[in-house]
């Protein structure tokens, strides 16, 4: 399932997609020198700290976690924003209206 999703995304024009072997000893090292648009990873074998490390080391990366047991996808990003007010926070949650950091 994970490889099928990665292959389908690779077929999209202009996207560089990497399927990460989350069971590898150091999966982050496998990304050395690579700057993909998205990384697809199997959540059933990924270490809990892997997601945080990937998002910290690769700002702007979209991490697509696949859970084969439930057929669910989880899309995570390291994109950050300043929620300077409750309205700004609601805009981020409801509409994806990011207030860029200065």
2-24 pLDDT, tens digit per residue, is: 788 888 888 776 788 888 877 66
What are the sequence ranges of the domains in the chain? 2-95
Residue 101 has pLDDT above 60, yes or no: no
Residue 1 has pLDDT above 80, yes or no: no
% of the chain with per-residue pLDDT over 90 = 0
Residue 44 half-sphere exposure, CB side, CA atoms within 13 Å?
A: 9
One-character DSSP codes across the chain: -HHHHHHHHHTSTT--EEEE-TTSSSTTGGGTT---SEEEEETTT--HHHHHHHHHHSTT-EEEEEETTTTEEEEEE-------SHHHHHHHHHH-------
39-83 pLDDT, tens digit per residue, is: 888 888 887 788 888 888 887 788 888 888 888 888 888 776 665
């Amino acid at each position: 399932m994970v490889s099928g999703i990665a292959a389908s995304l690779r077929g999209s024009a202009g996207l560089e997609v990497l399927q990460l072997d989350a069971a590898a000893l150091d999966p982050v090292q496998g990304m050395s020198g690579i700057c993909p648009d998205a990384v697809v990873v199997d959540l059933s074998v990924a270490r809990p700290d892997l997601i945080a490390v990937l998002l910290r080391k690769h700002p702007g990366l979209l991490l697509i976690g696949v859970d084969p047991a439930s057929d669910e996808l989880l899309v995570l990003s390291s994109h950050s924003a300043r929620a300077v007010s409750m309205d700004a926070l609601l805009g981020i949650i409801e509409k994806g209206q990011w207030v860029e950091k200065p």
